[in-house]
Amino acid sequence: MQLVSIKTIIAVLWLVTGFAVSLAGKPHSLSSWIILTAVALVPPLAMMWFWNDPRQTMSESIHEARR
């Protein structure tokens, strides 16, 4: 499985879980909606930004050079 698809699946699962928790908590004020939105969006965005692809291995470099 590609790293990009793994990151996307994790982000979507986090957002769906956050949405379900927010519906169960029934937030009433604007500040609670803002906090729930931040909790739902910030971790997946940070993960997508900071989780880098692994470095290319020596065999991948050789295979790429031979093409």
Report pLDDT for 36: 84
pLDDT at 6 over 60: yes
CA-based nearest residue to 20, from 36, 44, 38, 42: 36
Query: Backbone dihedral region of 26: left (phi > 0), alpha (psi from -120 to 50 degrees) or beta?
Result: left
- Return the structure tokens found at 15: 């957002």
Report pLDDT for 3: 64
8-57 pLDDT, tens per residue? Answer: 898 889 888 888 888 888 888 888 888 888 888 888 888 888 887 778 88
- Return the structure tokens found at 16: 């769906």
What does the pLDDT average to over 2-12? 81
Q: Is the distance from CB of 11 to CB of 47 less than 8 angstroms?
A: yes
Q: Is the distance from CB of 11 to CB of 19 less than 8 angstroms?
A: no
Report pLDDT for 1: 56
Report pLDDT for 63: 87
